[in-house]
Amino acid sequence: MAEAAILGFLQNNESIPDSGNFAAELNLDHEEVKNVIKSLQGFRYIEAKELKRETLVLTDEGKKYAAEGSPEFHFFSAVPEEGSISKDDLEKKLDASVFKIGSTQAAKKKWVAMGKQVSRKVQHVEDKVKESLLLIQQGLEIDQESLNSLKARKLIASQGWTGYSDVKKGPSYAPKRKIFATDLTRENLQNWKEMEFKEYNFNAKGQPLDAGHLHPLLKVRKQFKDIFCQMGFEEMPTNNFVESSFWNFDALFQPQQHPARDSHDTFFLKAPSTTRELPEDYVERVKQVHESGGYGSRGYNYDWKREEANKNLLRTHTTAVSSRMLYALAKGPFTPKRYFSIDRVFRNEAVDRTHLAEFHQIEGLICDRGLTLGDLIGVLQAFFSRLGMPKLRFKPAYNPYTEPSMEIFSYHEGLEKWVEIGNSGMFRPEMLQPMGLPEDVRVIAWGLSLERPTMILYGIDNIRDLFGHKVDLDLIKRNPICRVGIE
Ligand code: PHE
């Protein structure tokens, strides 16, 4: 409709000066006229200039007065021609808003004398407000003073209006638009000689795919997995969030009075509150090493309690998995191994910008005869270089299960300072020997969180924006793939 009207009009006329008037005269929807002009312009059938103006429109209140009359007019009409009426009676007669607005406006216009009794000051009034509003509604002009007062009373508002002016024939003008075929249908192919096909637009964006999206943590995890795999590491099975205190702490030579074993730091399970089975002979050796040592150690010298080891908890570190794996490894004839894991751990901690009660740990370990601290430093250097962090420093630290232990620091080029990125060490003989690993077998290991590098890579400064129920799903959909690695 609109397209035929525009192209037809231009066949006999020089130009359309104003798309708004054009639409109004032909009783067309102006939005449609605008869309057609835009499209015809794109195909150079026509040329047009954009036109912007402010128009006045009635607000809801303005529309009401235009239809029903102003409140001051109603108020005035309710006052008797002769004598007076009490204010209370008037209030009862009129709508609350008509009474309130009407009384103020009518008094201001000196139409009525207001007191306990209300009487007319003039005999006849004109509802200029209604008249002005009707004029505006028809797109006609009114005097500036009335305009200002209607604006002040919020009965009208200005609204941006866009359209086109100077609509003329363009270089490809034709009275009717050629239709290009857009699909290679059987019919189109049969008649291809008579057809014109639309050119391909290789710059058009494709349809967004309605598919699942990987969370940033999963993307970064993939990067870590790839690095471990490139370095010859095998993944450990981490599919148990519930662990016994035995594997999480005791097997790691962590004394039963250690503060980390407190319920303030660890989530214990109510049901089932205890583990069903543990390897009895190994439990006996662990008890021994805690109580009185062995393998060159003096032990901790306290009464080791089985009930404490039986308690179920949500694992506080993935080193619980490493202890199970090393125990399993010790059962067979010894073979050197490189293991890694990346999975969730839980700590009963106060939640803040950088801490949640659950997070992910990345852990790597190498188990071989005669490994030294030098091997640990070397493998950490290789690992972190692959992450793009070649500058490392180490600080002596303490873990109940490693000796020596080292915190790992990396130089952050952006922050221009050394930041802590992980923890590491050589597992103690008190941990490895009771498992039954050969005496000369050493295990070097390290751990770090997955959240921290992910937050750095994606520029997220509040962990709650990354993980948990407050995460914006759109962020997950939009976040790019990430690459970490050797520069
Ligand atoms: N388990 C340690 C932690 O939770 C990390 C670690 C792993 C330290 C292996 C040393 C060796 O922080």
pLDDT tens string 20-64: 999 999 999 999 999 999 999 998 999 999 999 888 899 999 999
Under a CB-based contact definition with an 8 Å cutoff, are residues 383 and 362 in contact?
A: no
* Ligand 1 pocket mutation pick from 247, 363, 432, 444 by most atoms within 8 angstroms of CB: 363
pLDDT in tens, 410-450: 888 777 889 899 999 999 999 999 999 999 999 999 999 99
Query: For ligand 1, is residue 341 a contact (CB within 6 Å)?
Result: no
Provide the pLDDT for residue 486. 55
Average pLDDT rounded to a whole number, residues 320-325: 97
Under a CB-based contact definition with an 8 Å cutoff, are residues 426 and 376 in contact?
A: yes
pLDDT in tens, 154-179: 999 988 889 999 999 999 999 988 88
Peptide bond into 255 cis (omega under 30): no
Query: For ligand 1, is residue 424 a contact (CB within 6 Å)?
Result: yes
Q: Which residues neighbour 329 within 8 Å (Cβ) at sequence distance 6 or greater?
A: 335, 337, 367, 437
Provide the pLDDT for residue 155. 95
Q: Give the containing element (helix H, strand E) for 289.
A: helix 280-291
Query: For ligand 1, is residue 422 a contact (CB within 6 Å)?
Result: no
Under a CB-based contact definition with an 8 Å cutoff, are residues 233 and 338 in contact?
A: yes
The rounded distance, in Å, linking the Cα atoms of 195 and 259 is 82
44 C-alpha to ligand 1 centroid (Å): 68
Query: For ligand 1, is residue 446 a contact (CB within 6 Å)?
Result: yes
The band of 212, judged by pLDDT with boundaries at 50, 70 and 90, is confident
Q: Looking up tokens 């607005």, which residue turns up?
A: 101
Query: For ligand 1, is residue 99 a contact (CB within 6 Å)?
Result: no
Provide the pLDDT for residue 452. 87
Q: Give the containing element (helix H, strand E) for 227.
A: helix 216-230
Average pLDDT rounded to a whole number, residues 276-294: 96
417: left (phi over 0), alpha (psi -120 to 50) or beta: beta
List the Cα angle 316/319/320 in 5-degree steps: 70
The rounded distance, in Å, linking the Cα atoms of 401 and 428 is 6
CA-wise closest residue to 80 among 126, 125, 118: 118
The rounded distance, in Å, linking the Cα atoms of 243 and 233 is 24
Helix 71-78 × helix 128-137 angle, to 10°: 150
Provide the pLDDT for residue 413. 77
Residue 439: both structure tokens together: 């005496």
Under a CB-based contact definition with an 8 Å cutoff, are residues 436 and 251 in contact?
A: no
Phi, psi dihedrals of residue 161, rounded to the nearest 5°: -130, 135
pLDDT in tens, 79-106: 999 889 999 999 999 999 999 999 999 9
The rounded distance, in Å, linking the Cα atoms of 195 and 190 is 10
Average pLDDT rounded to a whole number, residues 297-321: 97
pTM metric for this prediction? 0.62
Task: List the residue whose alpha carbon is closest to atom 9 of ligand 1.
Answer: 446
* Ligand 1 pocket mutation pick from 253, 254, 317 by most atoms within 8 angstroms of CB: 317
134 C-alpha to ligand 1 centroid (Å): 79
Say which amino acid occupies 469.
H
Query: For ligand 1, is residue 318 a contact (CB within 6 Å)?
Result: no
